[in-house]
Chain A
């Protein structure tokens, strides 16, 4: 049995395809009613993990529990989960209504009750007049909603979503993200969502797992994953990050003083456990946590650099600043609150400053 209150418990799961180690000792607990995302680049094993939850693949070793029940040996059509496929897999020979009612047949409901359930679903996905349409008369967004309705009508304990928004264009995708999130709150079903789009994962999830090469690197809330990534791999996967080599100078009360190459001394409380004085570490900072100015500010947390490059992106601008002793230019993101008055001449001297605790000390590995 599971030793905690997790609704889905993935315990020490390994999966080999021949000699390829697709899933490498993954253990993840997912709570009831949670919107949980598996984030990773293609080939990281996130879809394999999802397919193991659905029952289409079996773990080579380890066990998956759903609602306390071990799932090994349980075929897909007997599991309390349903899946929304990447291609949506809408049955082409059926109309929308029959597609949505597909899984109800087993329950042998009276016709009137079945029709009422389907109508309810058509309302929920905002396609009330589309019941008699054929699958090939639908747009991508509509297919996506029908795939959702077809699964949700069965009231599964868990809904699995395999990159369901990947095939949609940007605007529709953002709209569907909001709808999906609202829908999940309405129905209260646990969602496990696979995506390679970090922004999507950050927007939608209660918690998420970052995966790479078949391993789960970090499982946490979007905020903590973004603000306090545990290592360089996670930090560079989500958003942009500037990295600096450094050395622990001293441990202070709940934090540390670090001597970083090119930056001098800095203080932060974002530190991994078991940090020792004298240890070499990697410190990192997000581009939007750096401020840029032409003149030196009062205070300590600043360093002089040279403006290398600038990019105007509309709501914000990205600047790249080279600092003596640091090989890669440092990325700085500045919001264009006032109308940008030019990007500044290249090579002009600038000052970078930051607040206390803006830096993160990354663990090794």
Chain B
């Protein structure tokens, strides 16, 4: 460093350069922000933007044997629009993950509410306990549901032993409801945590003020607690809806023919069917539909929030 008898001019310029960079960082908050973001930005650019770019480009190609015809064409999109199977699978996927999202949020809200308002000591322990099932692998939990819902599974054998049913209920496994139940359980933690955070943030004196101004418990919940926790509900819904729509593991294991989703088809395009451009086109369509639904959901939620308050 400058204490040693190194060449003076170099040292001086080096010093000036760092101080100039330092000054820039000092002055501009944006520069500081980008510096902090840069590792993430790099990964996002390389790991997300580039693959999506490839996907978009590939969706305009066509599969010829084991190679690609790289002339740009919208044939894949036309086929997706024309063949009813694609639209039907997409609609079913959106419907099923919509159901799963609703079930998860409705079942998780009371848990988040309980921890936020009625647990006063060891909140952290409760949060850890709630996330405890999620420490096991996703695949294991899906298999566990297979055991619970199966033909000779926990529910069926219990009901039969109690004499409530003669034969096993067949609709439990390999159906849409099986997929919805499993997804709702598998994603519960992702719903509880954001909703807990937004409920926890609500100033308790707001609730007292609402009571003081004449609201009973239900009116107070609808007019204060729910609107103020809506950001948490929205982020929970999106956190679940977006990844579950494209899920293919759960429908593969539990869905049966009725419970297959668009994710299964996309997986097949890249696998057995070996039509990557078609798979790419389907992925893009899926992304766009999820994006459109997420945006309209946020707009509706905002509108509702204004109306109920």
Contact = CB atoms under 8 A, between A and B. Distances in A.
B309 A106 contact: no
Interface residues of A, number: 23
Contacts of B309: 91, 93-94, 98
B216 A77 contact: yes
Interface string B211-244: 1111110000001100110000000000000000
Given A94-B309, A98-B309, A89 B205 contact: yes
A86 B203 CA distance: 12
A85 B209 contact: yes
A145 interface: no
Contacts of A85: 205, 208-209
A82 B212 CA distance: 6
Contacts of A54: 212
A150 interface: yes
B203 A89 contact: yes
B231 to A, nearest CB: 10
Interface in B176-227: 203, 205-206, 208-216, 223-224, 227
B92 interface: no
B305 interface: yes
Interface in A135-171: 150-151, 154
B214 A89 contact: no
A247 to B, nearest CB: 53
Interface in B6-41: none
A184 interface: no
A76 B212 contact: yes
Interface in B264-299: none
Contacts of A92: 206, 228
B204 to A, nearest CB: 9
B interface: dominant SS: helix
Contacts of B211: 56, 75-77
B227 A89 contact: no
Interface string A75-89: 111000111011101
A102 interface: yes
Interface in B70-90: none
A31 B278 CA distance: 83
A344 interface: no
Given A92-B228, A93-B305, A98-B309, A87 B205 contact: yes
B152 to A, nearest CB: 52
Interface in A58-109: 75-77, 81-83, 85-87, 89, 91-94, 98, 102-103, 106
Contacts of A82: 212-213
A93 B214 contact: no
Given A76-B208, A85-B208, A93-B227, A154 B213 contact: yes
B214 A154 contact: yes
Contacts of B212: 54, 76-77, 81-83, 151
Contacts of B216: 77
B228 A93 contact: yes
Nearest to B205: A89
A150 B216 CA distance: 17
B206 A89 contact: yes
B227 to A, nearest CB: 5
B271 to A, nearest CB: 48
A271 B212 CA distance: 44
Nearest to B208: A56
B203 A103 contact: no
Nearest to A78: B214
Given A77-B216, A98-B309, A89 B228 contact: no
B225 to A, nearest CB: 11
Contacts of A77: 211-216
A77 B216 CA distance: 6
A42 B161 CA distance: 65
A82 B211 CA distance: 10
B215 A89 contact: no
A89 B210 CA distance: 9
Nearest to B202: A92
B214 A91 contact: no
Contacts of B227: 93
A323 to B, nearest CB: 51
A81 B212 CA distance: 8
Contacts of B224: 91
B214 A103 contact: yes
A51 to B, nearest CB: 9
Given A85-B209, A91-B206, A94-B309, A106 B214 contact: yes
Nearest to A153: B213
B49 to A, nearest CB: 35
Given A56-B211, A89-B209, A102-B213, 12 more contacts: A76-B212, A77-B212, A77-B214, A82-B213, A83-B209, A87-B205, A89-B206, A91-B224, A98-B309, A103-B213, A103-B214, A151-B212
| 8 tightest A-B CB contacts, nearest first | A103-B213, A89-B209, A89-B205, A76-B211, A83-B212, A106-B214, A103-B214, A85-B205
26 contacts: A54-B212, A76-B208, A76-B211, A77-B211, A77-B213, A77-B214, A77-B216, A83-B212, A85-B205, A86-B205, A87-B203, A87-B205, A89-B208, A91-B309, A92-B206, A92-B228, A93-B227, A93-B228, A94-B309, A102-B223, A103-B214, A106-B214, A106-B215, A150-B213, A151-B213, A154-B214
Interface of B: 203, 205-206, 208-216, 223-224, 227-228, 305, 309
